[in-house]
Structure 1
């Protein structure tokens, strides 16, 4: 169950050339509690004049996702505000705060443009989980089941989720984490009690997805031949095939979680299932964004 939170920026911290961390505060965030992990949220960015459309978000009971989304879609294009999907970096219900990391890349995109100009006191509406409901964990895709040997892989858009997952893992987990970022200066501190080895992959001029693809393929070569063998047939992904699928790897030792640019991530998932022999049930993949297409 999700709800709207009328948050305000409490603090802004430039983490690196391409990462900006926003601490968002609201008294109602005391109810925002799911445990973190790769918790997805919707961010309502303001219109150019700083306002938001009236979608009935503050009535009681609050509208469902489909209700407010359909109302938003029905607005004239000039009246709509940008909506983007993000993952939460940290959740502090006792302090009524959450942290959200933005990837900034100039002012062409509305989220990056907002992040580069926003200051403490600015308003940002968050659609996120309501911890008072049984299904408050909706929007969390990390689900290793019985697996304790994991592969985490993603580009900069997946860095907040991967770091939050790493910080949650107990010492019984082993494996590898690969995080592709724009530059060497974008390597961020992350702690984990697990034995998962963390590898940062700065592009520094390389093509998007190139370092991540090379690292995951190298992981596949090093992986023991009989580690996981679904041996499933895997059809080529077409234009209409899903770019997002969450697995439930019960009974398996290995589990892979992949997120980032859809073309890169689906190719890696195909490689794991078709070439390495992992079962589809062992690989969760999330196309967080797609080159050349705006996402909401």
Structure 2
């Protein structure tokens, strides 16, 4: 499958007050094989310009170098998302409408309409991760992790799941999820408290995603409780007060180095 191409919006609907689900169609989607936690890059065109795609190349580093070679004024903004669902010809992507000043992806999602066009890179099978085979899988994340958690729940039946959202209006119909409401509390604080309070049997593994500092705190807590680092799959989807365009922090670099060190696969017992 060609890893890059154009996506056209066919439908837009508000799933919750803060989540917009956009349905896309595009060349190559019919050839895409599904797997859990399927991630892709979306390319948002700069104002006044159509989407300009780098030259197609199966090698991600060459593709990225071609992306950087696009003149800055024409280069699309790139953001990472997870496929929420799909049919043979379409994919759904959920956009969380974060409060405060809107970044390029949020601003686009607020106004998305059928006929709008974005670019994509992926989903790339090279980034597919194996499912955990642990007796119990703890999944914990915020609203940005819901698409990935939903796909994981479709494949495993041994999960204990906590999802932190703003309030009850942000809950989605996912069986077995224990919803944690911020209700004005600091982002991640109540999710961490919920995970601290759960009893996990021996042989458990964990999947963590969401705001990066919260993911680090959850992972640190689970390691202190005795889970091996190799049994914890973790991803910081976003950073407070920073975007994907900002330079990585020392913590980001440390996370990346550790994940590369575990690139042989997630053991998950």
Classify the TM-score, shorter chain: 0.7 to 0.9
What is the deviation of 1:81?
1.5
2:250 is equivalent to residue 262 of structure 1: no
What is the deviation of 1:29?
0.8
Q: Give the TM-score taking structure 2 as reference length.
A: 0.84
SS of the residue corresponding to residue 98 of structure 2 reads coil
Aligned to 2:168: 184
What is the deviation of 1:142?
5.5
2:128 is equivalent to residue 140 of structure 1: yes
SS of the residue corresponding to residue 144 of structure 2 reads helix
What is the deviation of 1:270?
1.0
- Aligned counterpart for 1:201 among listed residues 180, 185, 191: 180
Aligned to 1:114: 108
Check the 8 A contact 2:205/2:231 in 1, yes or no: yes
Check the 8 A contact 1:33/1:91 in 2, yes or no: no
Aligned to 1:46: 45
Structure 2, unaligned stretches of length 5 or more? 246-269
Please tell me whether Structure 1 or Structure 2 has the larger radius of gyration of its CA atoms: 1
Alpha-carbon separation, structure 2, partners of 1:122 and 1:75: 21
2:189 is equivalent to residue 210 of structure 1: yes
Aligned to 1:71: 66
Aligned to 2:91: 98
2:163 is equivalent to residue 164 of structure 1: no
SS of the residue corresponding to residue 212 of structure 1 reads helix
What is the deviation of 1:2?
6.0
Instruction: Give RMSD over aligned pairs.
Output: 1.9
Alpha-carbon separation, structure 1, partners of 2:207 and 2:2: 24
Alpha-carbon separation, structure 1, partners of 2:125 and 2:238: 22
- Aligned counterpart for 2:139 among listed residues 152, 155, 162: 152
What is the deviation of 1:152?
0.3
2:123 is equivalent to residue 126 of structure 1: no
Alpha-carbon separation, structure 2, partners of 1:259 and 1:105: 16
Check the 8 A contact 2:2/2:28 in 1, yes or no: no
Structure 1, unaligned stretches of length 5 or more? 130-135, 192-196, 229-252
Alpha-carbon separation, structure 2, partners of 1:101 and 1:23: 9
SS of the residue corresponding to residue 38 of structure 1 reads coil
Number of residue pairs matched by the alignment: 244
What is the deviation of 1:91?
2.4
What is the deviation of 1:202?
1.9
2:229 is equivalent to residue 280 of structure 1: yes
SS of the residue corresponding to residue 164 of structure 1 reads helix
What is the deviation of 1:54?
4.6
Check the 8 A contact 2:206/2:233 in 1, yes or no: yes
What is the deviation of 1:179?
0.7
SS of the residue corresponding to residue 265 of structure 1 reads helix
Alpha-carbon separation, structure 2, partners of 1:41 and 1:52: 16
Check the 8 A contact 2:7/2:26 in 1, yes or no: yes
